[in-house]
Amino acid sequence: MTRKGKEIIAGWIFLLPDLVGLAIFVMFPAILGFNISLYNWSGLGQMKFVGFTNYFKMFQDPIFIRSLTVTIKYVLMFVPLNFLISLALALLIKKPSKGITFFRTVYFAPVAISLVSIAFVWSYIFQQNGFFNSVLSIFGIPSQTLLGSMNQALYIVLALSLYASVGYFMVIFLAGLNDIPEEYYDAAKVDGASFWQNFWYITFPLLKPTSFFVLIISLIQGFQLFDQVYVLTGGGPFYATSTIVYYAFQTAFEYYQFGYAAAMDFLMFIILVVLSLILYKVLKGGEVK
Amino acid sequence: MRKLDLKQVTKYIIMSIIAIIFLFPLYWMFVSAIKPVTDIFAVPPVFWPKEPVWGHFAEVFEQLPFARWLFNTAFVAGTITVVALFTHSMSAYSLSRLHYRGRNLMFIIIISTLMVPFSAVMVPLFILVRTFGWVNTYWALIIPGIPNAFGIFLLRQFYIGIPREIEEAAIIDGASVFTIFFRIILPISKPILAALAVFFFLANWNNFLWPLIVINSNSLKMIQVGIAGYGGQYQNPWGDIMAADFMAMLPTLIIFIFLQRYLVTSITMSGLKE
């Protein structure tokens, strides 16, 4: 056989394991998921075709609406705060100086640790008689309900998410910042530009591709909030921290309504695709002109 | 010059305060694991117990199949990492250096799977894995975790950057595609493979939702699911929970401390090179 023929065969053989794997474990489930969402199914026994009933049902289900609202509220807080804090951290430790590696390591460390582990300490710190309230009492602030409060629980979940993720995005911003040629800043210095002018006219525009990436990834991550809720609050109190993924998980694996859960998952999938496309349009894929 | 110093000092103070906030939960986890019961919710909080209690760590091993959980986690995360890096290298090599019709289409199809978040397919994936009879087996934990377009994408970027001449010399010598891949390409990709290995291993060690869905046999649990059940349902004493928590977290922290630069490399590469 010719070298060219061998190359074609090798090309497909090399590609095969992952291609088959992705087809079976990602592409096929995505299609299967939509299909299941059209049925009433307990996971065992007969499947009953119900068309789009599961999708209509969602918007009459107060718990689903609650979970959707909580998820959106959380994402609206998580995405911008995560963006600002991780960018601020990156700017803070960008310039090499004494001990900076230590600080970078500390801010980055939570990324390596599981959300479950962190959530347990969080749970302990934010118990009513825990560390957080005893710090408040030093300042004369009365004891708060915290995880038992419908108003406060989501913020505690949010704080945990930020703690666990800002280090990751800080590293991404740091890489983006280091890609900006130093000459731009040197030129601005000659013109006597201030820190904010530097930031606004050089850093921010040139950081657009990085910003786009950070926004997309944190958006997708935010929408999939699950681990923190599972350990910290179990969705409570009174569904105040129940998210789409958490409710879909319960619907499938605690209430055994697979069709309904699949519909929620599919809806979330569509929301994410649409949001990503909108973000892409708005930021034009982060292209720098 | 004084102004500059003041600026520097302020910066270090801010950085230190943030560092304390970041380190505190980990410190609190550890110190609470060695506190006697009376210190757990003491007011004011006890920052270091007068008489540290080391027994909680042993209790965790007595009460739980903790060693087994650690083994399960290391085995699953390790296997996925090794196998995935191998298949991803092959795919990436095929998609970047070999020429055949349909290659670009295949690349687009593979990349499009990045759009499908795991939680959007958890129900159908569970049904599928159950159909295979894999529920409560290592297969369910390992096999679906292997295919991953993210790794393929990063490796492909790396392979595109390898100069053509490196291969050409081997081709003239009559080396086959397989020889080139194993003898030339894999050895020069060691740094990027190391970076991805750390990333994959940690991600799988910390994976929670999927192992929670497919495993309910206690002896097959991965560590995150194990400690989640321990803390949640049984109302165990906080000292024991923190001890279990700390030990579950320790391997990842050690890996992080020693291999941090690899993790930075893999994260840095992930989004920024178009």
Task: Compare all CA atoms of chain B with the CA of A138 and give the residue at the minimum distance.
Answer: B44
Cβ contacts of A1-4, under 8 Å, gap ≥ 24 = A3/B171, A4/B99
At A162, list the tokens. Answer: 């930020």
| End-to-end Cα, chain B, rounded Å | 43
Q: Please check whether residue B248 touches A, CB under 8 A.
A: yes
Task: Compare all CA atoms of chain A with the CA of B130 and give the residue at the minimum distance.
Answer: A43
Q: What's the gap in Å between the CA of A151 and the closest CA on chain B?
A: 22
- State the sign of the Cα–Cα–Cα–Cα dihedral B11, B14, B17, B23: negative
Q: What's the rounded Cα separation, in Å, for the pair B146 and B203?
A: 12
Interface test with B, best of A8, A14, A42 (most B CBs within 10 A): A14
Instruction: List the pLDDT tens digit at each of the 289 positions of chain A.
Output: 677 888 888 889 999 999 999 999 999 999 999 999 998 888 788 888 888 888 999 999 999 999 999 999 999 999 999 999 999 999 998 888 888 889 999 999 999 998 999 998 998 888 888 888 888 888 888 877 888 888 889 999 999 999 999 999 999 999 888 888 888 888 888 888 888 888 888 888 888 888 888 998 899 899 999 999 998 888 878 888 999 999 999 999 999 999 999 999 999 999 988 988 888 887 765 554 4
DSSP for residue B266: H
In this structure, which amino acid lies at residue B90?
M
Domains, chain A, ranges and CATH? 57-286 (1.10.3720.10)
- State the sign of the Cα–Cα–Cα–Cα dihedral B59, B57, B225, B232: positive
Domain ranges within chain B, ordered by starting residue: 1-53, 54-272
Is residue B206 within 8 Å of residue B224, measured between CB atoms?
yes
SS3 A39: strand
Task: Compare all CA atoms of chain B with the CA of A137 and give the residue at the minimum distance.
Answer: B44
**Chain A residues with CB-CB distance to B122 below 8 A:** 248-249, 252, 265
Q: What's the rounded Cα separation, in Å, for the pair A39 and A27?
A: 20
Tens digits of residue pLDDT in A170-196: 999 998 888 888 888 888 888 888 888
Instruction: List the pLDDT tens digit at each of the 274 positions of chain B.
Output: 455 688 888 889 999 999 999 999 999 999 888 888 777 777 778 888 888 888 888 888 888 888 999 999 999 999 999 999 999 999 999 998 888 888 999 999 998 888 888 888 999 999 999 999 999 999 999 999 999 998 898 899 888 888 888 888 888 888 888 888 888 889 988 888 998 999 999 999 999 999 999 998 888 999 999 888 876 545 668 888 889 899 999 999 999 989 888 888 888 876 544 3
Angle at A130 between CA A129 and CA A133, to 5 degrees: 80
Q: What's the rounded Cα separation, in Å, for the pair B215 and A116?
A: 17
Whether residue B44 is preceded by a cis peptide bond, meaning omega within 30 degrees of 0, is yes
SS3 A161: helix
Q: Please check whether residue A256 touches B, CB under 8 A.
A: no
Task: Compare all CA atoms of chain B with the CA of A103 and give the residue at the minimum distance.
Answer: B19
Q: Which CATH number fits domain B54-272: 3.30.460.30, 3.90.1150.10, 3.30.450.80, 1.10.3720.10?
A: 1.10.3720.10
Strand partners, A49: A39
Q: How many CB atoms lie within 10 A of CB B190?
A: 9
Q: How many CB atoms lie within 10 A of CB B23?
A: 14
Q: Which of B150, B85, B117, B247 is nearest to A223 (CA)?
A: B117
Q: Please check whether residue A217 touches B, CB under 8 A.
A: yes
Q: What residues of chain B, 167 to 196, have a C-beta less than 8 Å from chain A?
A: 171, 176-178, 181
Q: Please check whether residue A156 touches B, CB under 8 A.
A: no
Q: How many residues does chain B have?
A: 274
pTM of the model: 0.90
Q: Please check whether residue B111 touches A, CB under 8 A.
A: no
Q: Hey, are the CB atoms on B231 and A123 less than 8 Å from each other? A: yes
Q: Please check whether residue A175 touches B, CB under 8 A.
A: yes
Q: What's the gap in Å between the CA of B97 and the closest CA on chain A?
A: 9
Residue A33 to residues A25, B37, B116, Cα–Cα distance (Å): 12, 48, 11
Residues 6+ apart with CB under 8 A from A246: A67, A225, A226, A229, A230, A235
| Predicted-complex ipTM score | 0.88
